[in-house]
Amino acid sequence: MTDPGPPRVAIRLIRALLPAEERDFVLGDLEEDFRRRADGEGRRRATARYLYDGARSALSLMTRGSREGMLTGWGNDLRSALRVFRREPGFALVVVLMLALGVGGATAVYSVLRGVVLSPLELDDPDRVVVVWGRTPEYPRMPLTVGDHKALAEGVDAFASIAASWGNTALLVGEGEPRQVHVGWVTPGYFDVVGAEPLLGRSLVAGDLTAVVISHGLWIRAWGADPDVIGRSLRLPEGSFEIVGVLPPDRNPNLSSFAGVRTSYDVWRLQPPEWLEGEDRSVGWLRTTARLRDGVTLAQAQAETDALMTAVNRTVTERDGGTDLRVDLVGAKEDLVGEVSRTLWILLASVVGVLLIAASNVANLTLARGEARRSEMALRATLGGSRSRLIRQLLVESGVLAVAGGVSGLAVASVGLSGLLALAPPGIPRMEAVGLDWSVLAFAMGATGAAAVVFGVVPALRFVRGDLSRALVGRRATPDRGQRTLSRALVVGEVALSLTLLTATGLLLRSMSGLDRVDLGLRAEGLMTFAVEVPEWGDTAEDAAATMSAFIEGMASVPGVRSVAFTNRIPLGGGIYTGTYRSEEMVAGEAPTLEASIRWVTPDFFTTFGTDVLMGRAFRVDDDPAVAILDRRAADRLWPDGSPLGRRLQLSAVGEEPQWVEVIGVVEPMKHAGVAEPAEETIFRPMLTAAHRQNFRYAAVRVGGEPLAYVDPLEDAARAVDGDAVLARIRTMEDLVRDDVAATRFAGFLLTVFGGVALLLATVGLHGIMAHSVRRRTREIGIRVALGAERRQILRKAVASGGVLVGSGVVLGLMASLGLGGVLRSVLFGVEPSDPASILGACVIMLTAGLGGAWLPARWVMRLDPATTLREE
C-alpha cells in the first residue's frame, strides 16, 4: 500500500474516543473519506476534516444516549441487579456478610472515637479552656502551689480568666438517709472559666462562703428536681448552706481527672480566701484552669507563661518539685482524653484494616465472577449491548450489594457498639457521649462507599480495558494477565494487613500478661476498701483517734474479718497527696528536697494489704507523727548504703511546717498511680494520732472469702459506732486492679478480635483465589496428570505459587509492623514494639494459615480423576 492513511496520532486520538462496538466501522469510514479528500484537497485539509468528523461522530455516539435508552436503563439495571440475590444467593450473602462485618466493626469503633475524642467538650466555647499543669523532671503533671497559681493569675495577660479547684468528700445530712457527696472547692468565677453556667440561680461569687451550687444529678436525687430549690438550705456536718444555683445536666464542670476518673462533684463551694493567702510553694495541690482571651492562640499563651515562669523561678528558693518548675497549658479536651485517644485511633486503624481486607476479598470475588461472566458479557456486547451499558450494570450491581452490606453493617455496628459500651473499662472518659448519630451514619456511608470503590469500580475498570471479543472466541482462555495481577496484589495486601494486625495483637497480649505479673506490693484477693463518712470524727486528736479506733474494733469483730486499717489514700484508688523530704545529711549539705507520696496509715495497714515489712517494724497504736516508715525506694534514695533505721529526715506536707521524723521501718514499694506506672517513693505516717486532721478516711478490710458478702455486716458494725455512718465508694481491691489495667485489656481484647477476623478473612481470600486458579486450570492439570506428571510435583507447584503470595504479604506486613510499631508504644507495657516473639508468632500463624489456604484447594484437584478433569469446562 503506497498511499498513506491519516496520521497515526489522529487515528489513535479518534480511536480512543469511539465506543468499541462501532469503532472499527467508523474508523474505516473516516479513513476512506480521508483518502478521497487527500487526493483532491491535500493531506492537511483531509486531516483536519478527519479530526473534525471523527470528533463529531464520537460525540454523537457518546451523547445521543444508549440505543436501549438511558432513562429506562436504570430501572432495568436495578431490577437485574436485585435479581443477583435470587440467582446467586451464595455470592450475594458472602459479599453482604463481609461488608457488614467490615463496615459494622469500623462504624462501631468510630462511634466510640467520635463520642470520646472528636466531639467537642460539652462546655461553652471549650476550645479556649486550658488546664494548667506544673512539670518537673520527675513529675510530668503536678498540681500547682498557691504561690505559682497566684503568679500565673496575676502575670499572664493571655488568660481572660483563671480559677482553681480542689476536691474532697463530705457527708450530706438532713435530706433523708445521710449520703456521701463529692465536694468541689473553687475560686470565684470558676464556672465562667470552664463554661458551665448554672441552669437555675447563679454562680458562686467572692464572699459566698455560706452558699453552694449543686449538680443537676443531686438536685434530682435529693430534691426531686424541685424548681423552688434556690434559697433552700443544704446541711453538711459543718453547718447549713444556702443553695444559690443548680448546674445544667450533661455538663461536668470538673475538668481534672486522675487515673482516667473524672469525679462528678455534687456540691460546689467557694474556697475560703485564706487558702490562697501568702506565697506558699511547699506543696502543689491546686488544679488550675484558665480561659484564653479571644484571638490568643495556645502557643502564644504558652510562650507568655514560659517567660513568666522563668522570671518567677529566679525569685524562688524553695518549692515542691524543685526551683525549676515549668508550666504546661494543655487544651481541656486533650488533657481529658489525650491518653485514651491514642488507643482509640489505633483500634480504628485496625478495624479499618479489617474493612479493607473484607473489601479486597469482595473485589476478588467480583473479579472471579466477572471472569465467569465474560462470555455472557461478550455475547451481550455482540448482540448489541453497549460497553458503557454493561459497565453501568456492573456498577449498579456493586452498588446494590454495597447498600445491602452498608445497611447490614449499621445493624452490626449498633450491636457491636452495645458490646463495646458493655466491655469498655471504667477509665475511659466521656463514654456517655457515645452513640450512633448522623456523623456516625456518614462515616458508615463513607466506609461503604470506599469499600464499593475497591470491589465495584476496580473490576469494572478491568472490564473496560479487557477485550471482549477475545473472551467470546476463547471461552476457555485464562483471564488476562492484568486481572490476575490485580487479584494477586489484593491478596498480598490482605496478608500484609493481617500480619500487621496480628503483630499488634501479639504485642498487646504480651503487655497484658506482663501486667498480670507486675508486683503490686500488696495482695489484692480478699481485700475490700471503702470511704467511711460520719458527721463528726472529733475535734481533738484524742477524740478522733478514739472514733477511728472504735470503727476498727467494731469492724474487726465481724466474723470472718481478718484485719482492718484506715488510710487517707487507697492504692490504685486515685488521688495525689505529696510532700517533700530530705535526709538529715541532705539538710546539712543544703541539697534540694525530694518529692514523695505521703500516706497516713493505722497500725494494721501493712498486715491488711499483705505488704512485707522489710526492716524494722510497723506502726503501733501510740506512735506519734514524729516517726515514719519508708518504702524501699525512698529509703534507697536517702541512704543508698547502710540501714535507714533510726535515721532522721525532714518532711513537709500541705499546710505544715517542715518536721523532723525518725525512720522506724522499711516496707516493700506499693503501686499507687497505676499497675503500669512505677511505684512512687512513699513515706508512711501514723494516722491514729493525726486522725482529726485528715481530708480522706478510707477503710481497708481483709476478709476470708468473697469481700462483697461482708458489706452489710460491716455497715451494721459501723452504724453501731455512729448511727449516721456511711460506707461509700465500696470497691474490692481486685476490682481496682482490674479497672486499672482495663484499658490495656480492652484494647488487647478488641485487637485480638480484629486480628482474628483479619486472619480469617485473609485466609478465606487466599483460599478463594487459589481455589479459583486451580479450578480454572483443572483441564491443564488433568492433561499433565494424564501425560504422567507427578501429582506431588503439581501440588508442590500450586502450593508454591500460593506461598509466593503469602511470603510477599508477610514481608510487606513485617515492614509495616516495624515501621508502625512506634505508634503502639504508648499502649504497650514491658514489651518493645519490635518484640521478636510477637513478630515471629504472627509470621508463623500467618504462614501456616496462608499455606493451608493454598494447599487445600490444590489438594482437592489432585484427588480428581484425570478423565473427569479433562471433561471439565
Partner 1 sequence: MTDPLSDLERLALAAILQIGPEAYGVSIRDEIRDRTGRDVSIGSLYKAIQRMEDRGYVSTYVGEPSAVRGGRAKKHVRVEAEGRRALEESVRALGRMLAGLDVDLEVT
Footprint of partner 1 on this chain (CB under 8 A)?
Answer: 1, 3, 5, 11, 18, 22, 24-33, 35, 53, 56-61, 64, 67-68, 384
Give me the least distance between CB of 31 and partner 1, in Å please.
4
Minimum CB distance to partner 1 smaller for 58 or for 594:
58
The CA distance from 328 to 301, in Å, is 10
Nearer to partner 1, 21 or 280 (CB): 21
Burial class (CB in 10 A: 0-12, 13-18, 19+), 579: buried
Of residues 54 and 574, the one with the C-beta less far from partner 1: 54
**Nearest distance from C-beta of residue 20 to partner 1, angstroms:** 13
Q: Are 827 and 508 in contact (CB under 8 A)?
A: yes
Short-list 347, 389, 390, CA closest to 501: 347
The C-alpha atoms of residue 405 and residue 396 are separated, in whole angstroms, by: 14
Residue found by looking up cell 505479673 in the block = 517
- To partner 1, the closest distance from the beta carbon of 806 in angstroms equals 47
Cβ-based nearer residue to partner 1, 68 or 138? 68
What is the closest distance, in whole angstroms, from the C-beta atom of residue 17 to partner 1 in the complex?
10
User: Is-contact 465 780, C-beta < 8 A?
Assistant: no
Q: Which is nearer to partner 1, 470 or 476 (CB)?
A: 470
Distance CA 230, CA 246 (A): 8
Spatial neighbors of 514 by CB under 8 A, at least 6 apart, are 829, 830, 831
> Judged by CB, which is closer to partner 1: 30, or 355?
30
The least CB distance from residue 385 to partner 1, in Å, is 11
Least distance (Å) from partner 1 to the CB of residue 8? Answer: 10
Provide the minimum distance between the beta carbon of 18 and partner 1 in the complex, in angstroms, as a whole number: 8
Minimum gap (Å) between residue 48 Cβ and partner 1: 14
Looking at beta carbons only, is 59 or 840 nearer to partner 1? 59
The phi-psi region of residue 567 (left if phi > 0; otherwise alpha if psi is between -120 and 50; otherwise beta) is beta
Q: Which is nearer to partner 1, 50 or 855 (CB)?
A: 50
| DSSP calls for 447-487 | HHHHHHIIIIIHHHHHHHHS-HHHHHH-TTPPPPHHHHHHH
| Nearest distance from C-beta of residue 464 to partner 1, angstroms | 20
- The smaller minimum CB distance to partner 1, of residues 19 and 449, is found at 19
Contact 504, 817 (CB under 8 A): yes
Whole-Å CA distances, 546 to 513, 563, 655, 698, 779 = 45, 18, 24, 16, 95
Q: How many CA atoms lie within 13 A of 89 on its CB side?
A: 1
CA distance 495 to 845: 11
Torsion of CA 291, 293, 294, 298, to 10 degrees: -70
- H/E stretch holding 312 reads helix 298-315
Least distance in Å: CB of 382 to partner 1?
11
Q: Is 140 exposed, middle or buried (0-12, 13-18, 19+ CB in 10 A)?
A: exposed
Would you call 791 helix, strand, or coil by DSSP? Answer: helix
Distance in Å, CB of 58 to partner 1, minimum: 6
Cα→Cα distances 735→426, 511, 747, Å:
11, 19, 18
CA distance 170 to 235: 10
Taking the complex as a whole, the smallest distance from the CB of residue 61 to partner 1 amounts, in Å, to: 4
**What distances in angstroms separate CA 159 from CA 25, 286, 296, 384, 449, one per listed residue?**
78, 17, 9, 74, 45
CB-based contact 69:389 (threshold 8 Å) = no
Containing H/E element for 605?
A: helix 605-609
Among residues 46 and 329, whose Cβ is nearest to partner 1? 46
Nearer to partner 1, 57 or 563 (CB): 57
For 768, the grid coordinates are 478463594
CB of 377 to partner 1, least distance (A): 19
Determine how many CB atoms are found less than 10 A away from the CB of residue 336. Answer: 23
For residues 5 and 237, which CB has a smaller minimum distance to partner 1 in the complex? 5
- Please, which residue, 51 or 827, has the CB nearer to partner 1? 51
**Grid cell for residue 549:** 479506733
Q: What 8-state DSSP symbol labels residue 5?
A: -
Minimum CB distance to partner 1 smaller for 56 or for 87: 56
Cβ 32 to partner 1 shortest distance, Å: 5
